Amino acid sequence: MTERIVVVGAAVLHGGRLLAARRSAPAELAGRWELPGGKVEPGEAPEGALVRELREELGVESQALARVPGEFPLKAPYTLHVWTARLVPGSPDPEPLQDHDELRWLTPDELWDVEWLDQDVAAVMEVARGPWGDGAPDD
């Protein structure tokens, strides 16, 4: 049986916008947009991995809110699980510190203005179907 490694992607919602991040590496992913996040480490809860990765990559303090339905296959052995998330009050604004070179807060109308990684399109569609902004206070 092939072991699958979960990559957690954060759909950070704030003020009715979704945070998108443009990858700067590796070369085959650079220039395309994704949900910030990363690999869940052994023994780590996905919500904990999300908070850790967003702190490392973006310098923010965040909280995972709810799992977005579905499982989105990435290059083996990885599989993408998406959680909605929010920045906790007092968090610094996100900055592209690691893995990314640009960030954008997308309104629902702008959702498809960026070139998402092919493997992220289904995940972003699922996020768009959800209760956009629910549980994610604007503060």
Ligand X SMILES: Nc1nc2c([nH]c(=O)n2[C@H]2C[C@H](O)[C@@H](COP(=O)(O)OP(=O)(O)OP(=O)(O)O)O2)c(=O)[nH]1
Residues that bind ligand X (CB under 6 A): 7, 9, 29, 34-39, 53, 74, 78, 80, 99, 117, 119-120
Calculated CA dihedral for residues 67, 17, 130, 38, nearest 10 degrees: -30
Return the number of the residue (70 or 137) whose C-beta is nearest ligand X: 70
Return the number of the residue (19 or 136) whose C-beta is nearest ligand X: 19
Minimal CB distance residue for ligand X: 38
Query: Widest CA span of the chain, in angstroms?
Result: 45
**Shortest Å, Cβ 95 to ligand X:** 16
Return the number of the residue (53 or 138) whose C-beta is nearest ligand X: 53
| Side chain identity, residue 90 | G
27 vs 135: CA distance, rounded Å: 36
CA-nearest of 112, 102, 119 to 9 is: 119
Q: Is the dihedral of CA 66, 136, 79, 55 positive or negative?
A: negative
70 vs 10: CA distance, rounded Å: 14
Return the number of the residue (129 or 139) whose C-beta is nearest ligand X: 129
